[in-house]
Chain A
């Protein structure tokens, strides 16, 4: 019975997610809405939010530059699975083929190899950035991560002429990224040979498997030795250090793991949208992901997933819907401003209000992590630091 109680909810949710293409086709038949594309994007953001949750939720480090790892992942795919580096011609297990039968210019590695490399590269960058900075506490660390989150996309934007070498193709970005796929499969499974833009379900299952793996890692980490070390460092770094935990290594693990999942998500997203631009990795995206974690509940996996769905749902459906309502009200009362106002343009107005209200009234999020909730409502100054501690020590 206890086993049933423990696993009933997750198994139901995973089952529902696995069968999504089925009930999506049902929805398409009944209401003429195809949710496949938005659901894939939402799932990418769930993955990003789960990655950030390790950093913010588990380890209590406020990371305002998470978008940097997302960008790194996307650019790794751009470098290793497109025709960007025309000087060379390398191909391995790729889905890219040329019509003439000649070798295609550029590096074309199999997406699955690139995915692993993107995660590893993001983790490496996370360690390089984290190692000197993680000595800092609280708000200073937040600002340093913000600094890196701004520097990296700007570097990609300016990186089209680094001493004559075109690394990132500047503001134009990298175009025509190869699709993932398994070219060795029989022709009966043609949708899986090379993921197309019409049949989206292979994309969906790929990102779903990636998210499930992320969730598995999150769950296993929560109660691991490392997970408990994160809690202790988050609540009181000095006490944790006195107990023999190395705070810098512990934080570095959180930062690197978070970066890895950011890199994975970026790699998938890069392959999915096929063209990447430096401007799509702005500070707003970092805050967007942070809001998902904060809204859902820092440190709670269900909460974070719910947060990602709610925020992306608001972005995709609620705001355009509100726009239609407001515009029709405006037309009805003859107010020109209301009739033409473009609500989604002001999405961050609403998200800003959400951040402030959440922090004022329910800092622990919609589905709180019990321990985090207590830390966030700790009115006793003098204990802890970072997210658990007081304003003034």
Chain B
């Protein structure tokens, strides 16, 4: 939660903070600077390619950020790594696909919406898919919390984590039963055509679509947490459950609402992932979930802004690795970021109190 941040000792100048920094920080800064310089060299050599890749990174980052928010919201409130969250994202993309196909459980409700449909139908279809996926994933997340996590509220932390891993496998196999082991194609409802007049830098309608859907969701979430009564209750529970229940906040309901929010974001993200990449598969949630978790950790787990920043950073790191190192190294790169951040800076870039608790020392 955004409320839990520590009041960090702000040293006066950049020089002071440089002097006070540990050797680990310095090495990390040097390595990061070195990588940035390498990237910059590439950017100068072929700016068009670099910026096109940057756009892809930002778009992927937006999708990751929405999932990362789900991890961070839940971690902020009950300090659980909700391992099943990535698979919830996968279920979201499957629900979206099913809505677009117009057929559910053998009952044809309307004819499938494909790439040939009219613009209005496409817009309605996409919005409907998003809405249904958000609702289903939200409810699913709440149900998982009720069944699997709530009875373990006072159990050892790792017992709950093992339960979450079990839930993750259950959801993944539900996806396997539902759509089979192969990749399933998404109808191409959002155009891959370039918006920009030049062919040099590629900024597709798809990218605009994802960013255009993500920004209102982020603003809405931010408004909810900052300005509503329920949001205030969430922040209170995140800070101190006992004290919150003493002042009359329904803790269980607040936790449920947190899971609902996380699920809604995961559902939206799942549908957008499908529309953006054109495919989805039953185990997509494992990797996307871990990327999103990395993003949450990188930004500082428990910190909402951090999750968004981390999401965009991970998206960009992934896209740049795809382009300049090789696609097969992307997951290694991102997992290395995960390990390095957890080892050397467990509270992340914009970390707060709860992260330090989880990270020890």
Give A contacts to B, CB under 8 Å.
Answer: 60, 62, 64, 132-133, 135-140, 142-144, 146-148, 150-151, 154-155, 157-158, 283, 287, 290, 294, 345-346, 348-349, 351-356, 359-360, 363, 375-376, 378-379, 381, 385-393
Instruction: Write out the residue numbers on chain B whose beta carbons fall within 8 Å of the beta carbon of A351.
Output: 166, 169
CA distance A38 to B298 in the complex (A): 44
Give B contacts to A, CB under 8 Å.
Answer: 78-81, 148, 151-163, 165-170, 172-174, 176-177, 181, 241, 286, 290, 293, 297, 326, 328-329, 331-332, 335-336, 338-339, 342-344, 346, 357-361
Contact across chains for A142 and B161 when beta carbons are under 8 A apart: yes
Contact across chains for B169 and A355 when beta carbons are under 8 A apart: yes
Contact across chains for B361 and A135 when beta carbons are under 8 A apart: yes
Given that A62-B161, A356-B166 are contacting pairs, would A376 and B174 also be in contact in the complex, using a CB cutoff of 8 Å?
no
The 4 closest A-B pairs by CB, nearest first: A352-B169, A355-B166, A349-B173, A137-B360
How many pairs, one residue from A and one from B, have CB atoms within 8 Å of each other in the complex?
165
Contact across chains for B158 and A142 when beta carbons are under 8 A apart: yes
Instruction: Write out the residue numbers on chain A whose beta carbons fall within 8 Å of the beta carbon of B338.
Output: 143-144, 147
CA distance A143 to B166 in the complex (A): 15
B interface: dominant SS:
helix
**CB of A139 to closest CB in B, whole Å:** 5
Q: Which residue of A lies closest to B154 (CB)?
A: A379
**CB of B100 to closest CB in A, whole Å:** 24
Contact across chains for A287 and B339 when beta carbons are under 8 A apart: no
With beta carbons under 8 angstroms apart, the residue of B165, B290, B326, B358 that contacts A140 is B358
Instruction: Write out the residue numbers on chain B whose beta carbons fall within 8 Å of the beta carbon of A376.
Output: 155-156, 159
With beta carbons under 8 angstroms apart, the residue of A133, A348, A379, A388 that contacts B173 is A348
Instruction: Write out the residue numbers on chain B whose beta carbons fall within 8 Å of the beta carbon of A359.
Output: 152, 155, 159-160, 162-163, 166
Instruction: Write out the residue numbers on chain A whose beta carbons fall within 8 Å of the beta carbon of B80.
Output: 139, 391
A interface: dominant SS:
helix
CA distance A62 to B161 in the complex (A): 9
Contact across chains for A391 and B166 when beta carbons are under 8 A apart: no
Given contact pairs A144-B339, A378-B156, enumerate 11 new A-B contacts (beta carbons under 8 Å).
A139-B79, A140-B360, A142-B161, A143-B338, A150-B331, A154-B335, A349-B173, A351-B166, A359-B155, A363-B155, A390-B154
Instruction: Write out the residue numbers on chain A whose beta carbons fall within 8 Å of the beta carbon of B332.
Output: 151, 154-155, 158
Instruction: Write out the residue numbers on chain A whose beta carbons fall within 8 Å of the beta carbon of B173.
Output: 346, 348-349, 352
CA distance A268 to B290 in the complex (A): 31
